[in-house]
Structure formats: C-alpha cells, structure tokens
Structure 1
Amino acid sequence: MIKWILIAAFVASALYVHFRGRVRHRFSRQITDHSTFMAPINVLMYAFSRVPTTPFVDPDLFPELAPLRARWREVRDEALRLRELEKIKASEGYNDVGFNSFFRRGWKRFYLKWYDEAHPSASTLCPVTTALLREIPTVKAAMFAELPPGGHLHPHRDPFAGSLRLHIGLQTPNDDGCWIDVDGTRYSWRDGESVMFDETYIHTARNDTQEQRVILFCDVERPLRYRWTQAVNRWVGRHFVAAAASPNETGDRTGALNRAFGRFYALRLRAKELRKRNKALYYVLKWALLLALVVLIIRL
C-alpha cells in the first residue's frame, strides 16, 4: 500500500511539473527529462517557498545581494580581464554535465564557486568577486557566463527548485536582440541591471546582435517557510547538486557526478550513432529500457 502511495505521489508531482507554467516540453520529452525525477522534491520547494513561485522574482526580496549588485562595475572589471586571458571558455572535456549541451551553441563559463568555497583558480584570478560571494552564503553557485553573437540556448528547465537564478549584466549588447525567455516572457539584459527567475520554468536564450554578452550568473538559495524544509533543501544541494562541480583549471574540484559523466558520455555517443543509423531501433530500445525501469520500480 505504501509503495502505491509513493508511486501515486511521484506521478502527481511529475504531472504538476509538466503542466506548471505556460510553456511545456512535449510529453514524450518530459518523461525522460531530469526535472521529472526531481519532481517530488521540487513540489516540496514550491509548496513552502517564502517568495513567489512565479517565473520572474523581484531581486529586491533578497537584501543580502545588495553589495554584489551595487559593486557590479568591479565585478565586470574582473570578468573582462578573464575574457582577455581567454579563461571564460567551454569545458575542455566531458566534465560539466549540467551545461554540456550549451557549449555546442557558443556558450562559455568560468566558475566562481559551486556549492562550496570558491575554486582556487577563481580566488586567484577574481579576488574581489570571490570575496563578495564569500560574504553572501545564500549564493550557492556563481560563474561568469558568456553568450557570443549568434549564440543560443535551447529551451530547457533546470532539475532542482532549491534555488533561484540571478543574472547581473556586466557587458551586454544593451539591445532587445539579446534576450532570455522564461515561460514565454522575455527579458533583455542591460549593463548593471539584475534579473531573477525560477530556472525550473522552461527558459531559452539568444544573442542575435553582433556584440558579446557577459553576465554574472548566481544560484541563490530559495527561502523556505520552515527549518525542516530548509534542511531538506541544503541536504539535496550538499549531496547531489554539489556533485556536479566542474573545474576551470587543473587543481579545481571536480564533483563525483562529473567524474562519472565522462564514462557515461561514451555510451551516449554510441546511442547517438545508433539513432543516426537506425532511428526506429533507437527509440524501441529507449522506450523498452524505460518500461523495464518502471516495471522494476513497481515490483520492488
């Protein structure tokens, strides 16, 4: 009986995540999307959130972010210095599971921190920004992110609702041709301006201008109503999200998930080759494996 209650709760949570918002994935894609597997935890985060669960959230609700937002010019100086040194770049291997698909579309990044103390490379190259971040423990992850002319990110939703995403424009085209769309509403970045949104809504981005877009990208802990829900959020972040840490340079930490990702991706490449050769067989095997997983769960 308990097993069926848990299965029903999972299915209900997954359906809620799918139908939440105006923009949705195809149902067949949502079934295998990573946000589906996190749905029960995410529904808990939404239910006990102390800030609105709307696609965009007012960053003024997070007063601890004020020093970071106010000193954006100093942060920009460090980001532009990194660009000159060509340190804002794509991953050099299969060690960034969270953003691996973005690199093919021109997106680049330099990690400042990831659910831990700043990377050694960030502390050395960006002392002002990392010092500011160190004073704001609710910022769980931060990076400089670059989207070049013609770059774009496909529609996606992030897997975990324990944080909200803050973007601060550092060097942007200041043009409506460079934008992010969250659940059907667009925002165009501007130098020195901040925008915050819920990354578990489907979002996409494009830069159709001839200028680079460089932003400070932060994941800020979602405020929750009770200590126990906050404890759940931090436990998931510490034990699962932190495992996706990706290095900038040798000496930076690589999380367990990214250490495994390189081996997994070799299988993924073989699957892609099979899809090119025989698409029908690829989908038969994909859905057969998914069905087998469902049967296994039911029989446990």
Structure 2
Amino acid sequence: MKWIFVLLFLACAAYVHLRGRVRHGFGRQLLDHSTFMAPVNVLMYLCSRVPTKPFIVPEQHFPELEPLRQRWRDIREEALHLRELQQIKAADGYSDVGFNSFFRRGWKRFYLKWYDEAHPSAAELCPRTTALLREIPGVKAAMFAELPPGGELRPHRDPFAGSLRLHLGLDTPNDDACFIDVDSQRYSWRDGEWTMFDETYIHWARNDSAGNRIILFCDIERPLRFAWARGLNRFVARHFIAAGASPNREGDRTGGINRAFKYFYAVRLRAKALRERNKRLYYALKYLLVLGMVGFIWWL
C-alpha cells in the first residue's frame, strides 16, 4: 500500500513538473512547494470546470467579475490615493513569506483581503473597493500591486491550484516593455483591461518601461465539478493558504505561516552563508534533508 501512495505522489509530481513548456531545473523543482502540493493540485486540474491552460478569458467563465472591470476607475482612484499616502509598500520586517522570497526586486503591495474579510486598514483606506470585493464571494484574496521601473518578479509557480489569478490594469505604462510572462506567453498590462492566468504555471514579470505600474491583483476560486472537490479546495484555502495573511500595518491580521517566518528566515540566512562558503556541503545537506523527509514519511 505504501508503494502505491509513493508511486501516485511521484506521478503527480512529475505531471506538475512537465505540464508546462517552461520548467524549473530538477534540483529546484525537487524542493519547490508545488511538488509537495502536487497530489492536491492534480485533483484540482482534473475537476476544473475551466480550461487548465496558462491564460483564461475571464468574461467567458466569470461573468460575476464584470463589476470590477466596469468600476476600474473608482478602484484606481483609491489605489492612487494609497500611493500618495505611501501605503503601497514593501513588507515591514519578515511578516510576508512571499515578499521575502521572490517579490523583493522593487515589488510593492497593499493587501485588501486574504482568504478572509478585508484588513481593517483596507476597509478604512479603500472603502469602495473593499465593499465591491465583498459582493463577489469568488474573490478570495486581493491586493494593489505596484511594479516600478526596473522592478522584477522572479520566475516561480504558486503552490496551490485552487485559484486563478486576475490582474486588472489601473495605472500602467501601457507599454509592452512592462509585462508578465506565463509559461512563455506574454501579456502587457493596459489601463482598464484585465487578464486571468493559472499561477501554477511558471511565471515572471518585468517593468522595463519608464512608467510605474499599479494593478488590482485577485485570487479567484477555481470552479470545480464536484462538491467534494469544492470542499477540499475550501478546506486547504481556509486552513493553509489563509495562514499566509500579511499585515499592511499594525492591527491587521498576520497568519501563522508569516508569524513563524521570521524564525525560518534566520535559518535561511545561515544556509545562504553556508552556500557562499561551501557549496558542496550546502547541497549535500540539502539533499540529505529531502531524503530524511522521504524516509520519515515512509517510516510512518
């Protein structure tokens, strides 16, 4: 029976690794969070009611999102006001695991909600946008995301396939030099226009233009065919993804993952220092750790 589970896990991990045209190297993929989530993600793909491809046309599958596009100017007004207040900013300290991993090169954010009600700061500073989001239950997370000239988002894939990513252009360079690349397909943001993509494909972004870029960034619940699949999706989102909540300022909720992240980051800094001193030892310990985890699971 253990061998059956091991083989199923390996088959799911291989599928996640091979499903796109762009792939991580074997060493990186081995420790990538998407590998550990592979069995759940494969279920999400199999049960999906929307195409499982890099880009999806939102108006074809999510008519309930249309109010966001219709009221983009109202949303932009609150986003620009936030920028004037310097509230769209980098994470303070080590309270945002995503920001401190692949979002560090110029990327800034202001969370509107994260798998819960709006942050108190968002409800106070962005009342119209948070009220609009509250009327669309399928929007599980939302933020204003800024990418200034020279800013970059590193290539990565998100861990969980239970959602799809919506980007709505608010204040953009309207320039092809400011773009996101999803599985080697590029999209350049435009004011008042949107795109939707599957964030479990490898994606990255750059702003090589002279203008700033601010978008509304939303996670939309993936429509699934079966009630048990929808229940599994919401269970994972509620108990694991919600733990990634990060505050905009004091008084906002911080999820358990981000409360623990400052301790993990201290270990990570030591690991980076070891890699600089002795790469062979660093990678030997890294793969021994993986083998130890596999052995522990097998022993259970």
Taking structure 2 as the reference length, the TM-score comes to 0.98
For 1:201 and 1:292, the matched residues in 2 are separated by: 28
Give the RMSD, CA atoms, in angstroms.
0.8
User: 1:103 offset after TM fit, Å?
Assistant: 4.2
User: 1:7 offset after TM fit, Å?
Assistant: 1.2
The one-letter code sitting in structure 1 at the alignment partner of 2:262 is G
For 2:187 and 2:257, the matched residues in 1 are separated by: 32
User: 1:102 offset after TM fit, Å?
Assistant: 3.7
What residue is the counterpart of 1:192 in the other structure?
192
User: 1:280 offset after TM fit, Å?
Assistant: 1.2
For 2:134 and 2:153, the matched residues in 1 are separated by: 29
What residue is the counterpart of 2:27 in the other structure?
28
What residue is the counterpart of 2:75 in the other structure?
75
Aligned length: 299
1:148 aligns with 2:145: no
Matches within 5 A, 1:1-300: 1=1, 3-60=2-59, 61-300=61-300
Helix, strand or coil at the partner of 1:104? coil
Query: What is the CA deviation profile of residues 135-193 of structure 1, one whole-angstrom value per residue up to 9, with x for unaligned ones?
Result: 00100000000001001111100000000000000000000000000001000000000
Query: What is the CA deviation profile of residues 23-69 of structure 1, one whole-angstrom value per residue up to 9, with x for unaligned ones?
Result: 10001110000000000000000000000001000101101101111
Query: Would you identify which runs of 4 or more consecutive aligned residues in structure 1 move more than 3 Å?
Result: none
Query: What is the CA deviation profile of residues 193-247 of structure 1, one whole-angstrom value per residue up to 9, with x for unaligned ones?
Result: 0100000000010000111000000000000001110010000000000000000
For 1:25 and 1:283, the matched residues in 2 are separated by: 17
For 2:277 and 2:56, the matched residues in 1 are separated by: 45
Query: What is the CA deviation profile of residues 61-90 of structure 1, one whole-angstrom value per residue up to 9, with x for unaligned ones?
Result: 101101111100000000000000000000
User: 1:104 offset after TM fit, Å?
Assistant: 2.5
For 2:104 and 2:74, the matched residues in 1 are separated by: 30
> Does the 8 Å contact 1:91/1:103 carry over to 2?
no
For 2:101 and 2:293, the matched residues in 1 are separated by: 25
Query: What is the CA deviation profile of residues 82-115 of structure 1, one whole-angstrom value per residue up to 9, with x for unaligned ones?
Result: 0000000000111111232244300000000000
Unaligned runs of 5+ in 2: none
> Does the 8 Å contact 1:162/1:222 carry over to 2?
yes
Helix, strand or coil at the partner of 1:123? helix
The one-letter code sitting in structure 2 at the alignment partner of 1:33 is D
The one-letter code sitting in structure 2 at the alignment partner of 1:48 is C
Give the percent of matched residue pairs that are identical in Structure 1 and Structure 2.
73
Helix, strand or coil at the partner of 2:50? coil
The one-letter code sitting in structure 1 at the alignment partner of 2:37 is M
For 1:240 and 1:98, the matched residues in 2 are separated by: 14
Unaligned runs of 5+ in 1: none
